[in-house]
Chains A and B, each alone.
Chain A
Amino acid sequence: MSTTSTPPASHAANPRHRPSLSQRRSRPGEVLFKLALQFCLLVAFAFLVALIAFAVIKGWNRLDPRLWQEMPTGAASRVARAGVQSAITGTLWVIGLTAAICLPIGIASAIYLEEYADNTRWYNRLLELNIQNLAGVPSIVFGILGLGLIARVIGLGFTVITAAIVLSLLVLPVVIIASREALRAVPRSIRQASYALGATRWQTTWRQVLPAAVPGMSTGAILALSRALGEAAPLILLGAVTFIRFNPDSLLSSYTTLPIQIYNLIKEPQAEFQELAAAAIVLLLVILLALNSAAILIRNRFQKRW
Chain B
Amino acid sequence: MSDPNRKAPDVTDTVSSTRPAPPPVALVNPANRNEGAPRGDDEQVLRLEDVNIFYGDYQAVRGVDMTIGRHQITALIGPSGCGKSTVLRSLNRMNDLIPGARVAGRVTYHGEDLYAREVDPIEVRRRIGMVFQKPNPFPKSIYDNIAYGPRVTGMRVSNMDELVEKALRRAALWDEVKDKRKQSALALSGGQQQRLCIARTIAVSPEVILMDEPCSALDPIATSKIEDLMFELSRDYTIVIVTHNMQQAARVSHRTAFFTAEVDEQGERHGRLIEYDTTNKIFTNPAQKRTEEYITGRFG
Residues of A within 8 A of B (CB): 118-120, 187, 189-200, 203, 207-208, 212, 304-306
Bound: A235/B204 CA distance, A: 56
Neighbour of A194 across the interface among B99, B134, B148, CB < 8 A: B148
Work out how many contacts link A and B, with CB atoms closer than 8 A. Answer: 71
A193's nearest neighbour on chain B, judged by CB, is B136
Residues of chain B with a CB closer than 8 A to A195's CB: 94, 97, 125
Say yes or no for B273: interface residue by CB 8 A criterion.
Answer: no
Q: Could you say which of B92, B99, B138 contacts A190, with CB atoms under 8 Å apart? A: B138
With a cutoff of 8 Å between Cβ atoms, the chain B residues found around residue A193 in the complex are 132, 136-138, 197, 200
Contact assessment for B129 and A192 in the assembled complex, using a CB-CB cutoff below 8 Å: no
**Do B186 and A187 touch (CB < 8 A)?**
no
B48 part of interface (Cβ distance < 8 Å): no
The answer to whether A190 touches B136, judged by C-beta atoms less than 8 angstroms apart, is yes
Please list the 9 inter-chain residue pairs (A to B) with the smallest Cβ-Cβ separation, ordered nearest first.
A198-B126, A189-B136, A196-B130, A197-B149, A199-B152, A203-B152, A198-B125, A193-B136, A198-B153
B99 engages A197 (CB within 8 Å): no
**Chain A residues with CB under 8 A of B227:** none
Report if B122 contacts A (CB, 8 A). yes
Q: Which of A119, A192, A193, A199 has the most CB of B within 10 A?
A: A193
Q: Does B122 lie within 8 Å of A119, measured CB to CB?
A: no
With a cutoff of 8 Å between Cβ atoms, the chain B residues found around residue A203 in the complex are 152
Q: Which one of A189, A199, A208, A305 lies within 8 Å of B132 (CB-CB)?
A: A189
| CB < 8 Å neighbour of A192 from B136, B186, B204 | B136
- Tell me, rounded to whole Å, the shortest Cβ–Cβ distance linking B155 to chain A: 10
Task: For the complex, count residues of B whose C-beta is within 8 A of A.
Answer: 26
Q: What would 18 A/B residue contacts be, using CB atoms closer than 8 Å?
A: A118-B99, A120-B99, A190-B136, A192-B136, A193-B137, A194-B138, A194-B152, A196-B132, A197-B125, A197-B126, A197-B148, A198-B149, A198-B153, A198-B204, A199-B152, A200-B152, A208-B138, A306-B186
B122 contacts which of A189, A192, A198 (Cβ < 8 Å)? A198
| Residues of the A chain whose Cβ atoms lie less than 8 Å from the Cβ of B148 | 194, 197, 199, 207
Residues in B192-229 with C-beta less than 8 Å from chain A: 197, 200-201, 204
The answer to whether A304 and B139 have CB atoms under 8 Å apart is yes
Q: Shortest Cβ distance from A206 into chain B, in angstroms?
A: 10
* Contact partner, B100, options A120, A198, A200, A304, Cβ 8 Å: A120
Q: How far, in whole Å, are A152 and B204 apart by their CA atoms in the complex?
A: 58
Cα-based distance from A58 to B30 in the complex (angstroms): 74
Determine the distance from Cα of A190 to Cα of B204 in the docked complex, in whole angstroms.
Answer: 17
B123 at the A interface (CB under 8 A): yes
Cβ–Cβ < 8 Å partners of B126 in chain A:
197-198
CB distance from B221 to the nearest CB of A (A): 23
In the bound complex, do residue A212 and residue B97 qualify as a contact, i.e. CB atoms below 8 Å apart? no
